[in-house]
């Protein structure tokens, strides 16, 4: 049995690489089934966010190269491109890594809470796809429990620090007074919801939400007395918008250089601040070449969040200790589970020997033996049979010089050296 956590993240790969191996929600179920079939994994889950793509697997034996080859083949990326930026954690290290990710200790924004919800989604998708078995399922539950403890017992989740908050903080640096700015938000997921909330709290009263489905956009826009539009209406809204923040699951760019150029002309080159939080990117990188456009990607937010993280640095140490403890507890439970099959087989053997000796005693009684004789024979026979196999094995181990096995046997049977009872 081996646990594996393999992937790339914002620390090891640029956004240009990460977007090439990002999984769309529509791909996940088939990707999971294919992954298990190709690499021979018994259980698997995939976490794909703007900052990371990670595969969690439970296998008979660790085969990270096969997993990496599958990831490259699935996305049509040369294996060597991923080999340079991929990381692999196995067994206890994989368990600690997964828990660190869930607690936000491995995030671009230290302690950000969104990642836990994304891991819960990965768990639900794997369960729905039929690739979540008992061992990986237990690991997810232990991970959720550890993350909850970290949130409850440390201050790592305090203060509004997230990618969404970082984007709004950057906008505030560029536009001193956000109350006079209009924001265009592309997407209607959790990240954009957080962006909208932070913008509203910073005084932005004019918010436009653009989404593929108008109903979803309307639901979010209404929360902030905003305007809802579909993606096709973005060019018109762009002319009116000073701030553009995008985060969708689109596999192709939504905003191109041409559309932004036209908007700038109509705005008489009034600057536009743009943040592309999506992976793959929603805004063509060439947009950043335009005058009067300030375009930032997810990777660009790193410097912005540094100041906001200082209050969480102290809490991170306590969180790391809780993760180590959580991983240790889980490994102990796994080791206990490994003994279950042995205990079950030993009990079945004992019950079989008991039944044999009981049947022998019953036959003796039927043939006229006294109860005392039958009980004595039962006790003697059962004792001899229960001790036979351990006695033979201990003699063999002793003859082979396996002194450590004799010490284990003493501990197993609760004996002390020279015990005559």
The neighbouring-strand residues paired with 248 are none
* Contacting residues for 223 by C-beta, under 8 A, at least 6 apart: 196
Residue at a domain's end among 92, 127, 159 = 159
**Tens digits of pLDDT across the chain (421 residues):** 789 999 999 999 999 999 999 999 999 999 999 999 999 998 999 999 989 999 999 998 878 999 999 999 999 999 999 999 999 999 999 999 999 999 999 998 788 888 999 999 999 999 999 999 999 999 999 999 999 999 999 988 776 567 888 888 888 888 878 999 999 999 999 899 999 999 998 899 899 999 999 999 999 999 999 999 999 999 999 999 999 999 999 999 999 999 999 999 999 999 999 999 999 999 999 999 999 999 999 888 877 666 667 777 878 899 999 999 999 999 998 888 777 778 788 888 888 989 988 998 899 899 998 999 889 989 998 888 888 888 888 888 888 888 787 788 888 888 876 544 4
Supply the pLDDT for residue 404. Answer: 81
Question: Which tokens belong to 50?
Answer: 């703007």
Count how many Cα atoms sit within 13 Å of the Cα of residue 59 in the half-sphere of its side chain. Answer: 24
Q: Is 97 a member of any domain?
A: yes
Q: Is 316 a member of any domain?
A: no
In the numeric block, the tokens 């999971």 are attached to 32
What are φ and ψ of residue 29, in 5° steps?
Answer: -60, -45
Cis status, amide bond into 14, omega within 30 of 0: no
How far is the C-alpha of 303 from the C-alpha of 155, rounded, in Å? 22
Nearest to 170 by CA among 67, 302, 42: 302
How far is the C-alpha of 341 from the C-alpha of 167, rounded, in Å? 53
Supply the pLDDT for residue 415. Answer: 80
Q: Is 313 a member of any domain?
A: no
Q: Is 59 a member of any domain?
A: yes
Looking at the structure, tell me whether residues 21 and 142 fall in a common domain.
yes
Looking at the structure, tell me whether residues 345 and 407 fall in a common domain.
yes
Looking at the structure, tell me whether residues 148 and 168 fall in a common domain.
no
Q: Is 114 a member of any domain?
A: yes
How far is the C-alpha of 219 from the C-alpha of 221, rounded, in Å? 6
Q: Is 420 a member of any domain?
A: no
Looking at the structure, tell me whether residues 6 and 155 fall in a common domain.
yes
Looking at the structure, tell me whether residues 173 and 92 fall in a common domain.
no
Q: Is 308 a member of any domain?
A: no
Looking at the structure, tell me whether residues 268 and 355 fall in a common domain.
no
Looking at the structure, tell me whether residues 7 and 155 fall in a common domain.
yes
Residue at a domain's end among 124, 159, 194 = 159
Supply the pLDDT for residue 420. Answer: 47
Looking at the structure, tell me whether residues 170 and 150 fall in a common domain.
no
Looking at the structure, tell me whether residues 174 and 151 fall in a common domain.
no
How far is the C-alpha of 340 from the C-alpha of 333, rounded, in Å? 11
> Domain with 52 in it: what CATH number?
3.30.460.30
Which pTM does this prediction carry?
0.65
Looking at the structure, tell me whether residues 75 and 135 fall in a common domain.
yes
Supply the pLDDT for residue 305. Answer: 67
Looking at the structure, tell me whether residues 42 and 131 fall in a common domain.
yes
Number of domains in the chain: 3
How far is the C-alpha of 211 from the C-alpha of 230, rounded, in Å? 5
> Domain with 240 in it: what CATH number?
3.40.50.720
Residue at a domain's end among 159, 179, 206 = 159
Three-state SS across 89-102?
EECHHHHHHHHHHH
What residue numbers bound the domain in which 191 lies?
Answer: 163-303
Q: Is 340 a member of any domain?
A: yes
Looking at the structure, tell me whether residues 243 and 347 fall in a common domain.
no
The residues annotated with a catalytic role in the active site are 50
């Amino acid at each position: 049995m081996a646990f594996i956590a393999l992937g790339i993240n914002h620390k090891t790969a640029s956004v240009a690489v990460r977007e090439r191996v990002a999984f769309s929600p529509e791909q996940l179920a088939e990707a999971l089934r294919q992954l298990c079939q190709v690499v021979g994994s018994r259980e698997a889950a995939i976490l794909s966010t703007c900052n990371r793509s990670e595969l969690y697997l439970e296998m008979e034996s660790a085969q990270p190269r096969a997993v990496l080859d599958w990831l490259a083949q699935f996305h049509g990326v040369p294996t060597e491109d991923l080999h340079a930026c991929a990381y692999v954690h196995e067994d206890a290290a994989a368990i600690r890594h997964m828990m660190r990710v869930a607690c936000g200790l491995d995030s671009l924004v230290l302690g950000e809470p969104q990642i836990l919800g994304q891991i819960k989604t990965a768990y639900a998708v794997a369960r729905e796809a039929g690739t979540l078995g008992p061992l990986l399922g237990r690991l997810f539950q232990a991970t959720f429990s550890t993350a909850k403890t970290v949130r409850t017992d440390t201050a790592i989740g305090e203060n509004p620090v997230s990618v969404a908050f970082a984007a709004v903080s950057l906008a505030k640096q560029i536009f001193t007074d956000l109350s006079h700015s209009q924001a265009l938000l592309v997407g209607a997921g959790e990240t954009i919801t957080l962006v909208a909330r932070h913008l509203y709290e910073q005084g932005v009263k004019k918010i436009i939400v653009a989404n593929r489905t108008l109903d979803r956009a309307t639901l979010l826009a209404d929360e902030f007395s905003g305007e809802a539009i579909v993606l096709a209406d973005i060019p018109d809204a762009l002319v009116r918008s000073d701030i553009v923040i995008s985060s969708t699951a689109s596999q192709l760019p939504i905003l191109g250089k041409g559309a932004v150029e036209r908007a700038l002309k109509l705005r008489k080159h009034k600057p536009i601040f743009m943040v592309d939080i999506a992976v793959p990117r929603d805004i063509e990188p060439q947009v950043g070449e335009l005058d009067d456009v300030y375009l930032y990607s997810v990777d660009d937010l790193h410097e912005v969040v540094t100041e906001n993280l200082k209050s969480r640095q102290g809490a991170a140490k306590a969180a790391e200790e809780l993760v180590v403890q959580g991983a240790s507890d889980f490994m102990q439970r796994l080791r206990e589970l490994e003994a279950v099959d042995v205990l079950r087989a030993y009990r079945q053997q004992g019950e079989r020997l008991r039944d044999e000796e009981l049947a022998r005693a019953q036959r003796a009684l039927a043939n006229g033996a006294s109860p005392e004789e039958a009980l004595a024979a039962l006790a003697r026979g059962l004792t001899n049979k229960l001790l036979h196999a351990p006695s033979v094995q201990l003699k063999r181990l002793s003859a082979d010089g396996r002194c450590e096995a004799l010490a284990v046997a003493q501990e197993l049977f609760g004996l002390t050296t020279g015990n005559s009872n």
